[in-house]
Chain A
Amino acid sequence: MKPITNREELRSYLWEACEIEQQLMIQYLFAAFTMKKHPDSSCSPAQLEAVRRWGSQVLMVARQEMEHLALANGILTAIAEDPFFARENIPLQSRYYLGQELASRRSPNEKVTPCDIPFVFERFNLDTIGRFVCAESPGYATLKKAGMRIPEWCFGTKNHKCRSTTLADWLGHAGNGQESLRVVGNGAPQRLARTHLQEPFRAATPDTAETLSKPLHPGSIQELYDNINQAIHRIPNLFVGNPNQQVFVPVEYQINVVPITDVASADLAIRLIVEEGEGIEAPPGYQSHFTRFFDVRDQYVRLLQEHKGFDPALPVVTNPSPDVISKKYTLRVFDLFNHAYVTLLFLLTSLYRNFSATESSYPFFSAALQNAAFGPFMTMILRPIAEVLAHLKVGKDSRETAGPSFYLSREDEILLWPRPPAPQTSPGEIEPGEQVALAKQLDDIEFFLRRLDYIVDELAALSTERKLDNHLIDSNHKEWARRQLAFVSESAQAMANNMRRIYQVGEIQQFVVQP
């Protein structure tokens, strides 16, 4: 990986980090939302207890990916850059998890090749947790040097080849459309993730004088953060952002979003990210994401050996999309989830752009956004909708259910994209002025209230569906699903009330303990 030489390059590397962290997080969330909550014929009461504990682990790691995303955005804010909550949709093949790319860097002298780790939405199963282990694994050489257990399925050898290099094979079927595209190899279209890293070079032909660019080889996640950290220490006068604009979340629920204002705090944030994920340089016994997932997989294997039919997850389709959901009701819930998820990304983007720790008079915009963005939106709106979705059939006679796709439309991404001066990699070919005008929508409280209103109304309507049992994989869950949707609608209503009120008069002091 090429050393970072200036702030613009650093910004691009941080965008890479933000994008990866969000993509990992939503894959973990997807898997967690599919996990069973009731015993059944393929999950005994004893097994359900284990499944619950795994769910706790996967959700905890997802929370820490949110923390990593927040910290990377904290560094962007600290260097006076816009936050980055944009993201490419899944499925895709991240460049950071492309085995052939990693092989030459990660383990040049080893007789193993890191396997491709595709980004897919897959219900919780052995492959999924195995994939998560690989995604959080240190490199082979690091594992060996540290005497750590080696997840053999993450590495190919002469006798034990990597499973595949194609998304289609990971998905277990021939695939169609983009899912079947090869991610490496010649002659086939590639569904390879974008990169924000560009290397300037001169065109080969002498009559072309202009400077072109080609994507850089990104290296590993570890290298990405190492490179960012080195740049932070090397490039002078980086931390020119307003310290009062640093979003801060008190340490809670294993999340630690610290203000980043200088080299030392940025260094701390990066060390935290790397330690939590791969466990690099962590003390003995430290529970990194890698070791947590590894332990869960071990337990899963043991349960499977005892009971071959064990299945800890609902029959949720892989990579749900409107193409595979024919039931209109399910599609409405599916669309509503995406609407709600994008609303959260808009909230976060606006919060990081507009945060003020010293807000003391009307309008209390950042306080209004923060109240909704951290905590209740994920736990009281997104998760309950996703859990209902995982019980809804994709088709009339289907035995498969839907799940969230966390889909961002092009229009959504334009709104999320850092404001001009527009970078080369802007997702839409729109006029710079037009993007400025669009971006301003996120500075208006009414934009968020309208989106919340839609969520309230749509949930209220969905909860009164007469034939809800027809849409569920198990009609016994009818009342649960109905109450769930109604409850979320009520919570969204109260959240909208809070947002409006805080915008007008500030924090809800009534909820603050007086010393």
Chain B
Amino acid sequence: MSAIDTIDQKTFNERFAKLLELQFEGFFMCRIATDPDPTNEQLGVSGYTMALVRESPLDQVIRLQADDDFVKKNLRAPAEQMGIKIGVDVKNVQYDGKPYEPGFAALLDAPVSLEGKNPPFDGPIFDSRNNIVGSDDNMMFVVNPFDLVIRGKGVTLRAVDYLNPAQPDQKIWQIEDPNTYVRRLPSQFTSSSTQVMSILRVFDQATYFNDRLRYLRKSKEMLEAKRKPGKTDPELETEIQELESRIYQIDFWGSRFYTKMAFQLTYDFRANGPQAVQDKKNVLRGTADTTHPWPVTFWFGGWDGDLLVGYMQGTLGIPFLPD
């Protein structure tokens, strides 16, 4: 029996009124298919997003972290030159609004991940099924499943939320009433977010993508200059055609790229699932309440539909009692 189990409810509520807050941010990847492609499309034909032929298939998975091999294969140029590094990490730890040194030591720069699976997808996705279980038009997507994991030095925190706590295994397409999961839809949608644009330092999306087009065209020209008369280099030709497809998509869809860059989807709910803290050596120097919901708020924005990269910022609140 833990110490928590022995205290009465009044004391319990008082002791755990204050939050340990983990603030995180960074770039994420999502190889998402977009309407009017089906949401399980792997190549990308009629939507504005696509998997280039040498890349991994579109799999819809929201990747807050990505291993080097995956990044090498799928993070398109000029992401690296732009300073984009995939990884959403903890950037600040506070207790009741003030810096919390033990948390800082254990969790600063700790990677934040969204885990779990949503078959047939191999990880969490923005679930919509083209306006069936969410709305593409209004960016009303559930992040499904929600299993947020933060792995620090000697401590792992896990916040899980069920779409339907009464039936945790129920799939979103089986839920008849969206009221069941409305709390998991964005609480706010900003179509032209200055916060997002400030972070990305992009204030004119049209110019941003015109620059991209110039870069892609120049890159293509440079590759074409490498062609040798009478000799075909399949790898070179593929690379040229991949660039051509990227140019085509931005040309073809235009405003769809520009507008989404400034989008900001804010989520705000109390994670209702079984929360977990693994802290054998008590590096956090305190006790976390895992019996009550943990408030979590985060936003996704700055979506670059060419690079398939966006920005995320959020805060996980953990009811906490320092030693």
Q: Interface on A for B, CB 8 Å cutoff? A: 32, 35, 37-39, 44-50, 52-53, 55-56, 59-60, 63, 250, 252-253, 306, 371, 375-376, 378-380, 383-384, 480, 483-484, 486-487, 490-491, 493-495, 497-498, 500-501, 508, 510-513
Contacts and interface: CB of A to CB of B under 8 A. Distances in A.
B120 A486 contact: yes
B162 to A, nearest CB: 17
Contacts of A35: 45
B193 interface: no
A251 to B, nearest CB: 10
Interface of B: 35-40, 42-46, 50, 52-54, 120, 129-135, 137-140, 171-179, 182, 185, 189, 232, 234, 237-238, 240-242, 244-245, 248, 252
A291 to B, nearest CB: 14
B120 A487 contact: yes
Closest 4 interchain pairs by CB? A49-B241, A511-B135, A494-B173, A46-B237
B35 A45 contact: no
A53 B176 CA distance: 38
A511 B36 CA distance: 18
Given A60-B46, A512-B138, A253 B176 contact: no
A426 to B, nearest CB: 35
A56 B45 contact: yes
Looking at chain B's contact residues, is the secondary structure mostly helix, strand, loop, or mixed?
loop
Contacts of B132: 376, 380, 491, 494-495, 498
Contacts of A56: 45-46, 248, 252
Contact of B177 (A47, A52, A59, A501): A501
A508 B43 CA distance: 31
A334 B54 CA distance: 32
Contacts of A250: 137
B129 A491 contact: yes
B240 to A, nearest CB: 7
Contacts, number: 128
A87 to B, nearest CB: 22
Contacts of A486: 120
Contact of A55 (B35, B45, B177): B45
Nearest to A37: B43
Contact of A63 (B36, B44, B50, B182): B36
A379 B36 contact: yes
Nearest to B233: A46
Contact of B38 (A49, A384, A513): A384
A39 B53 contact: yes
A380 B38 contact: yes
A489 to B, nearest CB: 9
Q: Which residue among A32, A47, A60, A253 has the maximum number of chain B CB atoms within 10 Å of its CB?
A: A253
26 contacts: A32-B45, A38-B43, A44-B238, A45-B234, A45-B241, A46-B241, A49-B241, A52-B44, A53-B244, A53-B245, A56-B46, A56-B252, A59-B36, A59-B46, A63-B46, A252-B137, A253-B35, A375-B131, A376-B129, A379-B37, A380-B132, A383-B38, A484-B40, A513-B138, A513-B140, A513-B189
A483 B42 CA distance: 12
A52 B247 CA distance: 13
A458 to B, nearest CB: 17
Contacts of A379: 35-38, 130
Contact of A494 (B133, B240, B245): B133
B50 A52 contact: yes
A50 B137 CA distance: 29
Contacts of B175: 497
Contacts of B248: 53, 56
B45 A59 contact: yes
B37 to A, nearest CB: 7
A123 to B, nearest CB: 16
Contacts of B139: 513
A157 to B, nearest CB: 35
Contacts of A32: 45
A378 B130 CA distance: 10
A50 B241 contact: yes
Contacts of A510: 140, 178-179, 182, 185
- Residue picked from B43, B131, B182, B232, most chain A C-beta under 10 Å: B131
Contact of A378 (B36, B42, B185, B252): B36
A375 B35 contact: yes
B42 A497 contact: no
Contact of A45 (B53, B140, B182, B185): B53
A39 B134 CA distance: 33
Nearest to B136: A375
A462 to B, nearest CB: 16
A480 B40 CA distance: 10
Given A383-B38, A511-B135, A490 B173 contact: yes
Contacts of B185: 510-511
- Which of B45, B120, B185, B245 has the most chain A CB atoms closer than 10 A to its own CB? B45
Contacts of A50: 241, 244
